[in-house]
Amino acid sequence: MKNEIIGYVGSGRFAEADAKKLTGINLAFGELHNDGSLTVAGRQDKIDLIPQIRQWNPQLRIILSIVQKERDAFTRCCADETLRRTAAESMADAVVRYDLDGVDLDWEYPCVPSNGSMVSPEDRHNFTLLCAEIRKALTEKENGRHYYLTIAAGADLYYVNCVELPELMDYLDYINVMTYDLKCGFHALAGHHTALYSNRGDVFSNSCAQALALFESRGVPADRLLMGAAFYSRKWTDLADNENHGLLVLCPKGGGYGPDYEILVRDYLNQNGFTAYWDDEAQAPWLFDGSTFLSYDDPRSLAAKAAYVKEKGYGGIFYWEHKCDGTGVLLDTLYKGFKE
């Protein structure tokens, strides 16, 4: 894979101009149930748009991204041979029924209970078994057409320790490494949530470059790794001002979700008390008004990410989420970055 640009598309508009700049979209979301069945009711509007999208860009890859409806659906389905087969067949049937190009598993995360999921240490191996069963079911449906199986993966050491790499790559086409929320609700330190590189002053060091290198070190080929970009911001509040304008300052609580990029441009960027700053070391922007810190991607940081991905031979860039930038500037930046 090379120079992929993939957008997660949920609610909100999706236009012909978008389809012609992307190589793929992940429809968010289909939902896996405890009994192995799959529903897509929440995305029927985008399912209905598929014939039109095919006309706009016949080469565009359309994949259904799947989350769990119940908090233990993935763990339960992975652990049982019959449920693995049922889940795999449900996904393969949906691919054929809706004229999709494959499925993306968005399980956050195997073995990890901190997001409220019911999980098990056995998830690590059982996830491989599930992916093997899905690959088998997709292959049986192909009839000369390749169907894709991908996953969205956490961008840190905990994730690679909770799945079987590189065994999974026998079944997966590529991995979307979620190199955003690197600072989030788990971190009471205001910092970059999707920086290309780490700032040396960051005691909780992580970055896009560091995360992809980690996956490579565990046996995943570079061209089957996609870097994540954020079309939204993360926000820390009630900070004390200092000479770093809020960067890497401890605060009373973790970073919640901030405004989408479109709203940042409209209401925050060098206005309403906020000043824009740039971290040359991390290749990342932030906004600060004396007490509130906002971390996000902008055209400059995305251009740097695209250049890095091309230089290192990674598969491309994907982003969450399409509706967050009605200006179209961020997608246009990625498109130009890979065309140059």
> pLDDT per residue over 294-306, tens digit each?
999 999 999 999 9
Domain limits of the chain?
A: 4-230+296-339
Could you say which residues of the chain have pLDDT below 50? none
d(CA 55, CA 77): 36
pLDDT of the residue at 95: 97
Strands 225-230 and 232-236: unpaired
d(CA 142, CA 147): 6
CATH of 4-230+296-339, one of 2.40.10.10, 3.20.20.80, 3.40.50.300, 2.30.40.10: 3.20.20.80
pLDDT of the residue at 233: 98
pLDDT of the residue at 243: 83
pLDDT of the residue at 146: 97
What is the b/e burial string over 149-185, where b = at least 16 CB atoms within 10 angstroms of the residue's CB?
Answer: bbbbbbbbeebbebbbbeebbebbbbbbbbbbbbbee
DSSP conformational letter for 52: H
Number of Cβ atoms within 10 Å of the Cβ of 2: 12
pLDDT of the residue at 252: 85
- CB contact set of 117 (below 8 Å; sequence gap of 6+): 68, 71, 72, 74, 75, 108, 109
pLDDT of the residue at 41: 75
